[in-house]
Amino acid sequence: MKPGIVSIYRYSIPFVRPVPVRGSSLSTRDGLITGLQTPDGKHTGFGEIAPLPGLHEETLSEALIQCAAVLPTIDLSFGDLSLNDAGKVLPDHLFPSVRTGIEMSLLNLQSATCKNFPSFSGAPRAAEKLPLNALLFGNTESVLAIATEHFQQGYRTFKLKVQACNPGFAVDQVLALRSAFGNDISLRLDSNRSFSLENACTFFKRIPVNSIEYIEEPLADPHHIPEFFSRTGINSALDESLWMNPGIWNEIPHDCIGGIVLKPSRIGSFSDTLRFALQAEEEKIPAVVSSAYETGIGLGFYARLASIISPEPTPCGLDTFRQLSHDILPDGFRVEEGCLLSGTTYRSSLNPDLSMLELVEKWTL
């Protein structure tokens, strides 16, 4: 089977409050939605292409140009695709955000027409409840207020953004959260490679042993992570190193790794994302599926992915939808006791409200 009509839409959604991304601050989330429609018009598979400034190298304009150029030229057959091979016919030169968006469209179209939900060979039965980690940033008062609100809603895992420009402040926030919640929460830190080895060791030695789960990307040079672990006893998680330093996963010992954070739109394909996830799971290292502030279309797909990586998924980084002032799904997401219902979340992501999107390209194949 092949789609007969292709549409490309654009969206621009204000953030609830400015979101810090790698030293800058974003006020809106802008992206593209691709729609692959069956020739009879009965079914459409949507995918999201949303490069994030500061994270992706490609711009939104560049992604649009590439997407519009490549979609009319490739074989978009579907029906027997899996997460392992959805991008098998796509050219190698595609931007990461474009490749994952097109793969998402194909797999979602397959879901809509065949009820063949995205999976892979040997996948466990999908976990229905998908725990989330809540994102924390801002001053200490704000961080504690958000954490308290989310704790009352059932969240038990939190991710705190920390920066080397004010490391003492970061340590104080960790200590304040521990004072408020004790061992009732699991705390993850994310420094986006902002620390030198010496600064990281100096400040994070002040954090009590076992008070955090890991620090995501603590160092400007990830090859020093083993030494950071030996000097502090703190595990690290890999995120941007997975694509910025190809081979890093095999270059450093895994006893200092407390998790890997997987952003499919930056890794560049679902097959590569899945490969990292399964290798980590085999070594009992948590694989944390995370978003780049995508809309409900992308988040719903990521929820499906996270639910089948492990029968007991680790809390994932999909709570970012709370940072958007609204979504493009009619009903949005429901969180129950700090968890998404993965099946319901995925199915709701298949049907966006097109009135909230701007049509920019449409053609018949």
Render each residue's pLDDT in the chain as its tens digit; 365 residues.
Answer: 888 999 999 999 999 988 877 767 899 999 999 999 999 989 999 999 999 998 999 999 999 999 999 999 988 888 889 999 999 889 999 999 999 999 999 999 999 998 889 999 888 899 999 999 999 988 899 999 999 999 999 999 999 988 888 778 888 999 999 999 999 999 999 988 989 999 999 988 888 878 899 999 999 999 999 999 999 999 999 999 999 998 999 999 999 999 999 999 999 999 999 999 999 999 999 999 999 999 999 999 999 999 999 989 999 999 999 899 999 999 878 899 999 999 999 999 999 999 999 999 999 98
Q: Which residues pair with 21 in a beta bridge?
A: 24
Contacts with 64 (C-beta within 8 Å, 6 or more apart), sequence order? 8, 10, 32, 49, 360, 361
Judgement on whether residues 45 and 9 belong to the same structural domain of the protein: yes
Residue 124 lies in a domain: no
Tell me: do 19 and 157 sit in the same domain. no
Supply φ then ψ for residue 197, to 5 degrees: -60, -45
139 with 113, same domain: the answer is no
Question: Are residues 148 and 232 located together in one domain of the fold?
Answer: yes
44 sits in which H/E element? strand 44-49
DSSP-assigned letters across all residues of 308-323: HH-SSPPPBB-GGGGG
Are both 172 and 254 inside the same structural domain?
A: yes
CA–CA separation, 205 and 197 (whole Å): 12
Give the residue numbers spanning the domain of 242. Answer: 129-349
Within 8 A by CB and 6+ apart from 308, the residues are 119, 120, 123, 124, 125, 126, 127
3-class DSSP assignment, residue 179: helix
In this structure, the answer to whether residues 184 and 322 fall within a common structural domain is yes
The CATH number of whichever domain residue 301 belongs to comes to 3.20.20.120
**Spatial distance between the Cα atoms of 135 and 143, rounded to a whole number of angstroms:** 9
Residues 110 and 168 in one domain: no
User: Taking the mean position of all CA atoms in its chain, how far away is CA 125?
Assistant: 21
- Furthest C-alpha separation in the chain: 64
Residues 77, 137 within the same domain = no
Q: Are both 67 and 142 inside the same structural domain?
A: no
The structure's pTM equals 0.94
Same domain, 134 and 263: yes
- What's the CATH number where 58 sits? 3.30.390.10
Residue 76 in any domain: the answer is yes
Among candidate residues 1, 7, 5, 3, the one with its CA nearest the CA of residue 68: 7
42 and 106 together in one domain: yes
Indicate whether 190 and 292 sit together in one domain.
Answer: yes
Q: How many domains does the chain have?
A: 2
